[in-house]
Amino acid sequence: MAKIIVQNTDITVLGVEGQDYISLTDMASAKDGDSRAADVIKNWIRTRYTIEFLGTWEIIHNPNFKVVEFDHFRMSAGLPSFVLSASEWVEKTNAIGIIVKKGRYGGTYAHKDIAFEFGSAISVPFKLYLIEEFQRLKSEEQKQLGWSVKRELSRINYRIHTDAIKHNLIPAEITKAQASIIYANEADVLNVAMFGMTAKQWRDANPDLKGNIRDYASINELICLSNMENLNAVFIEQGMPQPERLIKLNQIAIHQMSVLESGDNNRELLK
């Protein structure tokens, strides 16, 4: 669940099976207030144009859509006595474009395609601001996804790094406590080369932050750190002393970060 703000109204966005559904209830409250939100949705959904739109969307996206029931609603639309709720539409036609939820996050939600169309029932400016804020949300989610992928890649490469430490730096006869010191010491080689400080120095400087120094790294720093973990594993295999590795890794970090920050990272990182 996420929230966007459109013309001072909080709008809920739910992820459902990889698709984004936007709260029509929240949107409707921007027009006539919370108490009238259900009426706004009913008045919108009962029109012939809306039923045509919803039915066409379902035919395109929903192989289990009940077309016969859709035709019945389409023929009845426009009659003074015709009334249709979102729940009835979903129940009778097996629609998936609209979801009616109960409970804490209850309300009527619609697939973003349908929600944008419903925005016209609120106002044209509201619809345009809704699309703009939704696109901003998706852009932020993509940035976060990129960070998460790079963080996971860094963790995977760190296993390669620790494996090199295990087979080359840790003697056969050693306690777990002694081994953990060696692992931590080698992790700090990367931390100092990349961030200029050890894990303990970072914790002492940031007592109110949870996690560790790498949890607060930028995407570019995580890319660079991932490369350094692989390189340090190679340097360890080659028997390079730790002081030499630290200097070399720091030089690599400076070079790669300058390339990444400049944006010319496809060609220069291969040098």
230 pLDDT more than 90: no
Whole-model pTM?
A: 0.53
Q: What are the percentages of helix, strand and coil residues in the chain, rounded to 5?
A: 70, 10, 25
pLDDT of residue 266: 44
pLDDT band at 96 (very low <50, low <70, confident <90, very high): very high
C-alpha–C-alpha distance, residues 34 and 28, integer Å = 8
pLDDT band at 150 (very low <50, low <70, confident <90, very high): low
Q: What is the rounded average pLDDT of the residues 199-210?
A: 88
pLDDT of residue 231: 85
pLDDT band at 17 (very low <50, low <70, confident <90, very high): confident
Q: What is the rounded average pLDDT of the residues 91-103?
A: 91
Please, which residues have CB within 8 angstroms of residue 148's CB and are 6 or more apart in sequence? none
Residue with tokens 């984004």: 20
Q: What is the rounded average pLDDT of the residues 10-35?
A: 85
pLDDT of residue 265: 47
More confidently predicted of 120 and 32: 120
C-alpha–C-alpha distance, residues 6 and 115, integer Å = 13
Lookup: tokens for 105: 């996050």
Annotated domain spans of the chain: 2-122, 141-270
Averaged pLDDT of the chain: 82
143 pLDDT more than 70: no
Mapped onto helix, strand or coil, the DSSP state of residue 18 is coil
Task: Supply the angle between the helices 242-262 and 176-195 in degrees, to the nearest 10.
Answer: 40
pLDDT of residue 211: 82
Least confident of 26-35, 94-103, 194-203: 26-35
pLDDT of residue 94: 95
Q: What is the rounded average pLDDT of the residues 104-125?
A: 88
185 pLDDT more than 90: no
Q: What is the rounded average pLDDT of the residues 132-141?
A: 82
Percentage of the chain exceeding pLDDT 70:
80
C-alpha–C-alpha distance, residues 139 and 93, integer Å = 34
pLDDT of residue 153: 60
pLDDT band at 51 (very low <50, low <70, confident <90, very high): very high
pLDDT of residue 271: 44
C-alpha–C-alpha distance, residues 2 and 260, integer Å = 31
Got the DSSP string for 182-247? HHHHHHHHHHHHHHSS-HHHHHHH-TT--S-GGGG--HHHHHHHHHHHHHHHHHHHTT--HHHHHH
63 pLDDT more than 90: yes
Least confident of 111-115, 144-148, 224-228: 144-148
pLDDT of residue 78: 79
pLDDT of residue 68: 93
pLDDT of residue 164: 62
Are 98 and 90 contacting, i.e. CB atoms less than 8 angstroms apart?
A: yes
